[in-house]
Amino acid sequence: MADQQNSTISGAEAMVHMLQAHGVKHIFGLCGDTTLPFYDALHRLDHGMSHILTRDERCAAYMADGYARVTGRVGVCEGPSGGGATYILPGVVEANESCIPILSITSDVAMTSRGRYPLTELDQESLFRPLTKYNGLIDLAQRLPNMVRGAFRAMTTGTPGATHLGLPFDVQKAPVDEAEIWAQPEFTHYPAWRSGPDPQSVKLAVKALLASSRPVIICGGGIVLAGAEAVLQEIAEKCNLIVATTVSGQGSLADGHPNHLGVVGSNGGVPATRAVVDEADLIVYIGCRAGSVTTERWRSPTRDTKIVHIDSDPMAISANYKTDVAVVSDARLALESLCRELEQPQNAAVDFGGAGRVASALKIKFDAFHVLAASNDQPIKPERTVAELNKLLPPDAIIVADPGTPCPYFSAFYQTPLAGRYFISNRAHGALGYSLSAAIGAQFGRPDAKVIAAMGDGSFGFTVGELETVTRYNLPITFIVFSNGVYGWIKAGQKSGFEKRYYSVDFNRTDHAAVAESFGVRSWRVEDPAELAGVLKQAIEFDGPTLVDIISQPLQDTEAPVSEWVA
Averaged confidence pLDDT in the chain: 97
The CA-to-CA distance between both ends of the chain, in Å, stands at 86
CA-to-CA separations, 129 to 123, 136, 333, in angstroms, rounded: 10, 8, 31
pTM of the model: 0.97
Is there a single domain that holds both residue 515 and residue 411? yes
CA distances from 35 to 11, 80, 81 (A): 12, 6, 8
| pLDDT, tens digit (0-9, with 9 covering 90-100), for 491-500 | 999 999 999 9
Domain of residue 175: give its range.
8-188
Tally of structural domains, the chain: 3
Cis peptide before 130 (omega within 30 of 0): no
Residue 431 within a domain: yes
Q: What is the mean pLDDT of residues 327-337?
A: 98
Question: Would you call 319 exposed, middle or buried from its count of C-beta atoms within 10 A (0-12, 13-18, 19+)?
Answer: middle
Residue 35: closest CA among 127, 165, 146:
165
* Mean pLDDT calculated for residue range 373-378: 98
DSSP 41-106: HHHHS----EEEE-S-HHHHHHHHHHHHHHHSB-EEEEE-STHHHHHHHHHHHHHHHTT--EEEEE
- Name the band, by pLDDT with cuts 50, 70 and 90, for residue 451: very high
- Report the candidate in 26, 326, 325, 9 with the shortest Cα–Cα distance to residue 172: 9
C-alpha–C-alpha distance, residues 38 and 304, integer Å: 56
Distance CA 567, CA 563 (A): 9
CATH number at residue 339: 3.40.50.1220
- What is the CATH number for 396? 3.40.50.970
For residue 417, is it within any domain?
yes
Q: How far is 354 from 277, CA to CA, in rounded Å?
A: 12
Compute the average pLDDT of residues 144-160.
98
CB contact at 8 A, 309 and 317: yes
Identify whether 545 is preceded by a cis peptide bond (ω within 30 of 0). Answer: no
428 and 547 assigned to the same domain: yes
- Given this model, what pLDDT does residue 291 score? 95
Q: Which residues pair with 105 in a beta bridge?
A: 78, 165
pLDDT at 458 over 80: yes
* pLDDT for residue 372: 98
Task: Tell me the average pLDDT across 32-43.
Answer: 98
Is 351 within a domain? yes
Looking at the predicted structure, is the pLDDT value of residue 9 above 80? yes
Pairing between β-strand 175-177 and β-strand 8-10 as defined by DSSP bridges:
antiparallel
Instruction: Name the pairing type of β-strands 215-219 and 175-177.
Output: unpaired
The residue from 188, 211, 246 where one domain ends is 188
Q: Is residue 128 part of a domain?
A: yes
User: Is 367 part of any domain?
Assistant: no
Q: Is there a domain that residue 225 lies in? A: yes
Give the separation between CA 563 and CA 111, rounded to whole angstroms.
52
Specify if 365 maps to a domain.
Answer: no
Q: Which of 357, 385, 410 is the last residue of a domain?
A: 357
**10 Å Cβ neighbour count for 120?**
17
Residues 530 and 561 in one domain: yes
Assess whether 168 and 259 both reside in one domain. no
Query: Is 231 found in the same domain as 164?
Result: no
**Measured distance CA(415)–CA(413) in Å, rounded:** 6
Residue 159 to residue 161: CA distance in whole angstroms: 7
Q: Please say if the pLDDT value at position 51 is more than 90.
A: yes
Mean per-residue pLDDT, 524-545: 98
- For residue 381, give every residue at least 6 positions away whose Cβ sits within 8 Å of its Cβ, in sequence order, or none: 372, 373, 375, 529, 552, 553, 558
Q: 4 pLDDT exceeds 60?
A: no
Reported as a pLDDT band with limits 50, 70 and 90, residue 352 is very high
Work out the pLDDT band at 564, boundaries 50, 70, 90. confident
Q: Are residues 314 and 445 in the same domain?
A: no
Same-domain status, 97 and 177 = yes
The CA-atom distances, in angstroms, between 392 and each of 325, 381, 416, 438, 541 are: 44, 18, 12, 22, 10
Which pLDDT band, with edges at 50, 70 and 90, does 348 fall under? confident
pLDDT tens for each residue of 125-143: 999 999 999 999 999 999 9
Bridge partners of 73?
Answer: 189
Spatial strand order of the sheet with 478-483 comes to: 423-425, 398-401, 451-456, 478-483, 546-551, 522-526
Based on the fold, state whether residues 306 and 399 are members of the same structural domain.
no
One domain for residues 288 and 413: no
- Indicate whether 227 and 343 sit together in one domain: yes
Distance of CA 319 to the CA centre of its chain: 22
- The strands making up 306-311's β-sheet, listed across from edge to edge, are 260-263, 242-245, 215-219, 282-286, 306-311, 325-328
Tell me, yes or no, whether 87 and 128 share the same domain.
yes
User: pLDDT by residue (tens digit) across 79-91?
Assistant: 999 999 999 999 9
Residue 193 counted as domain residue:
no
Alpha-carbon Rg for the chain in angstroms: 24
Tens of pLDDT, residue by residue over 235-278, are 999 999 999 999 999 999 999 999 999 999 999 999 999 999 99
The model's pLDDT over 301-314, given as tens digits with 9 standing for 90+, comes to: 999 999 999 999 99
Co-location of 181 and 283 in the same domain:
no
Beta strand 102-108 with 163-168: parallel, antiparallel or unpaired?
parallel
- Tell me the C-alpha distance between 51 and 473, whole Å: 12
Cα separation of 3 and 53, whole Å? 44
Domain final residue pick, 134, 158, 188: 188
In the predicted structure, residue 2 carries a pLDDT above the cut 50? no
Q: List Cβ neighbours of 395 (8 Å cut-off, separation of 6 or more).
A: 416, 417, 418
pLDDT range class, residue 1, cuts 50, 70, 90: very low
